[in-house]
Chain A
Amino acid sequence: MATPLHAVPRRVGGRRPRRDDTGLALLFILPALVGLVVFYFWPLARGIWLSFTSWDVLTPLEFVGLDNYVRMFQDPVFWNAVRVTVYYVVLNIGIQTVVALLIAVLMQHLTRSTFVRSVILAPYLVANVVAALVFLWILDFQLGIGNQVLEWIGLDRIGFFTTETWAIPTIALVNVWRHMGYTALLLFAGLQAIPRNLYEAARVDGASEPRQFFAITLPLLRPILGLVLIISVIGSFQIFDTVSVTTSGGPVNASRVLQVYIYENAFAKFDFGYAAALSVAMLAILMVVTFFQYRVTRAGQTDLN
């Protein structure tokens, strides 16, 4: 159901005079405008301003120019946070997209039942912290059923949240569990938009299943896939909740993602200025990543025409 972005209302004949709704319009957009300015643009400006200051909120503000940025570039924990966050995003989105695509394709072939789709979506309904705590329990080193199963199979117990190598992958997998259903349904909807006749034609031509997938499904799904990826990546970069209730950034900074580091600086180390500078860095990284993603996936264009 594609609609042009700006629908121009047709004028009936030439009889009606031009109505100017300016007054009414201003009234109607007033609340939204207030919200926009006060809670989006003003914080944006203020956040950038704060990044040039040193402030612990309890004593007066001090302007320090670029000091925070200089410190940031020399801060190994910052670079570690960037690295850890990128690692997390790659793992999370990579696995999530593949699994979601798999589920979407399976559903497309097997069933459209609301029940199945509801079950698939269920993890998305609960909060991040809920999912995190349940898996904290399931993957507990001593008592979690996850490790019991590993033992039955004959493998060693793994400290999922307590080992440096496993901390981020575990958190990534927890979030895959939570988001795969939602992503799958998004992709599923996208799959519906691909005309059937293309598949029919391919079948008649003798194309095999995998070939149809790679030659028809993927290319035509690309715009949707691109958009899904962009949204998922932006969301994934902002990971905080799960880390906050499971590892708090440990062990040894292994899961100290950017957002956790920002929160720690602001609320545990009395350093709002530095936290603001870190936020600006995060913003910059996100914008760059999004820009490249948009270009690479050519999410703005569709091959359907």
Chain B
Amino acid sequence: MESTRGSSAGRRSRRGRRLASAAIAAGLVGVTGCGSATAADSRTTLDYWLWEAQQLPAYEKCVDAFEAEHPDIDVRITQYGWDDYWQKLTAALVAGAGPDVFTNHLTKYPGYVTRDVLLPLDSLEATSDFDGSEFQEGLADLWRGLDGRQYGMPKDFDTIAIFYDERMLADAGMTPEDLEGLTWNPEDGGTFEDVIAHLSVDANGVRGDEEGFDPNNVVTYGLGSNGSGGDGHGQTQWSWLAGATGWTYTDAKVWAEEYNYDDPRVQAAVDWLFGLVEKGFMPPYEQIGSSPDPAQQLGSGTAALSPNGSWTIGSYTELDGVELGVASVPIGPVGHPVSMYNGLGDSISAQTENPEAAAQFVSFLGSDTCQVIVGEQGVVFPARPAGTAAAIEAFRAKGVDVAPFINLVEHQYTVLFPVTTHPADVLSILEPAMDAIYIGSRDASSLTQVNQEINSLFE
């Protein structure tokens, strides 16, 4: 922002001045007109925010159904990408101009609860009959605040699995069965690393488990990259590795006051993962940048295996020329695979001017009607069992077998997101540290120091 300096030239006619006065007048009318509420009539408008672009069509349909049932309520959906969503949401709440209802995330919502920015569902008529048992096991509890009240309506759940391209497997002389029952451990990577090595190909066509493989000149990486995971506790990146050692982020399920990043198990897992870069089995940080696109990696042949969350299935099915397959994450030292089990929720802002209408909308979002509509779109697994079933069907119709995602939930082979206070601060400490480990300027033992910093937030 530089100030301007100038000197003489040009004319300004009297007519110009009159035009200007007219412009001010028009402007002020426009300003006050735009400044006042848009409703001169009795319609209520609700603002709903979400971050997943893929889910936009599904929720638009849901909103259509809602508006049909409630003709006096209009719902406006706004979508911001994940990277910007939280900053924009917080800024809007600080400014007092936030949405009425918004999609909430376990790692962020404690910060809003402690600042009284969320309305508990039991305080509003439409949602006062909330019954957590109507949703998939354990999801509703995640959204219970320190005071025991419900702050989020379960929306959907997700787990992690590995996407692959069958043709790339065939090129390597492998079949989808070869991806079943893989084992992994942080010391030597188990059969999982063997497979990754075999699937990595350098510019001369040499495979990662063959002589003369050049890690600096790789054309196809065995394992795709989704960044360092520092901005989300490694949900898709390493939660299924660290979790498979029996490690959990915190000891208490929710509202803990101590993290476990100083545990050698998670550090070994992280070291193993980012050690793949040096071996040439995973893309380096510079190539991925700050907005990694793992689906694109699979589609362009840059990566052979792409671990990612169930909410991204749509990006993979969209890929041209790929014979998509889904495999389970590998079996860890605990004897079975482990995936992060996350559940999104819809929350009502305490700043809303229409709490009852908002509650009606949230109640609808948590109903079978809406969740089946969303499930049928085949983009996520809705939290209600009916919705989940619809989704499984929809995915099957698209040719995707989602068993690897669902099976872990059925057996509760899961690790949960940490739900603690100071969520934004924790991540702002974790993210640069994780990035540095990925880049290679530090190793995972630096996480002990990071853990200390994080835990000091709770003092």
Q: Do A and B touch directly, given a CB cutoff of 8 Å in the complex?
A: yes
A interface vs B, CB < 8 Å?
A: 1, 56-59, 141, 159, 161-164, 179, 182, 186, 189, 231-232, 234-235, 238, 247-248, 250-253, 264, 266-270, 272
Other-chain contact of A270, B94, B286, B436 (Cβ < 8 Å): B94
Per the bound structure, the CA–CA distance linking A251 and B288 in Å amounts to 11
Known pairs A162-B289, A235-B3, A252-B439; A264 contacts B87 (CB<8 A):
yes
Residues of B within 8 A of A270 (CB): 90, 94, 111, 115, 424
Separation in Å of the A248 CB from the closest CB of chain B?
Answer: 7
Asked whether, in the complex, the Cβ of A251 is within 8 Å of the Cβ of B290, the reply is yes
Asked whether, in the complex, the Cβ of A141 is within 8 Å of the Cβ of B287, the reply is yes
- Interface of A, secondary structure class, is loop
Per the bound structure, the CA–CA distance linking A102 and B425 in Å amounts to 47
Closest to A272 in B: B94
Asked whether, in the complex, the Cβ of A269 is within 8 Å of the Cβ of B428, the reply is yes
Per the bound structure, the CA–CA distance linking A232 and B4 in Å amounts to 11
Residues of B within 8 A of A247 (CB): 290
Q: Which 3 A-B pairs have the closest CB atoms?
A: A162-B289, A235-B2, A267-B91
Total interface residues in chain B, CB < 8 Å: 29
Known pairs A58-B94, A235-B3, A270-B115; A252 contacts B432 (CB<8 A):
yes
Residues of B within 8 A of A186 (CB): 5
Separation in Å of the A258 CB from the closest CB of chain B?
Answer: 14
Other-chain contact of A269, B7, B117, B285, B424 (Cβ < 8 Å): B424
Closest to B86 in A: A268
Closest to A259 in B: B1
Residues of B within 8 A of A162 (CB): 286, 288-290
Other-chain contact of B2, A163, A231, A267 (Cβ < 8 Å): A231
Asked whether, in the complex, the Cβ of B116 is within 8 Å of the Cβ of A161, the reply is no
Separation in Å of the A183 CB from the closest CB of chain B?
Answer: 9
Residues of B within 8 A of A252 (CB): 432, 435-436, 439
Per the bound structure, the CA–CA distance linking A58 and B92 in Å amounts to 12
Tell me if B60 counts as interface (CB < 8 A to partner A): no
Per the bound structure, the CA–CA distance linking A159 and B436 in Å amounts to 16
Asked whether, in the complex, the Cβ of B286 is within 8 Å of the Cβ of A163, the reply is yes
Residues of B within 8 A of A164 (CB): 439
A selection of 24 A-B contacts at a CB cut-off of 8 Å is: A1-B7, A58-B115, A59-B115, A141-B287, A141-B289, A159-B286, A161-B289, A163-B286, A182-B2, A231-B2, A231-B3, A231-B5, A235-B3, A247-B290, A250-B435, A252-B432, A252-B436, A266-B94, A267-B94, A268-B87, A268-B424, A269-B90, A269-B424, A269-B428
Tell me if B93 counts as interface (CB < 8 A to partner A): yes
Separation in Å of the B149 CB from the closest CB of chain A?
Answer: 18
- Given contact pairs A141-B289, A250-B290, A251-B435, a sample of 15 additional A-B residue pairs in the complex whose CB atoms are under 8 Å apart: A141-B287, A159-B286, A161-B289, A161-B290, A163-B286, A182-B2, A231-B5, A235-B1, A235-B3, A251-B439, A252-B435, A269-B424, A269-B428, A270-B111, A270-B424
Per the bound structure, the CA–CA distance linking A251 and B90 in Å amounts to 22
Per the bound structure, the CA–CA distance linking A251 and B5 in Å amounts to 36
Residues of A within 8 A of B116 (CB): 58-59
Asked whether, in the complex, the Cβ of A238 is within 8 Å of the Cβ of B1, the reply is yes
Most interface-central of A159, A247, A270 (chain B CB within 10 A)? A270
Separation in Å of the A178 CB from the closest CB of chain B?
Answer: 10
Per the bound structure, the CA–CA distance linking A251 and B3 in Å amounts to 30
Tell me if B83 counts as interface (CB < 8 A to partner A): yes
Residues of B within 8 A of A250 (CB): 290, 435
Residues of B within 8 A of A253 (CB): 432
Asked whether, in the complex, the Cβ of B3 is within 8 Å of the Cβ of A268, the reply is no
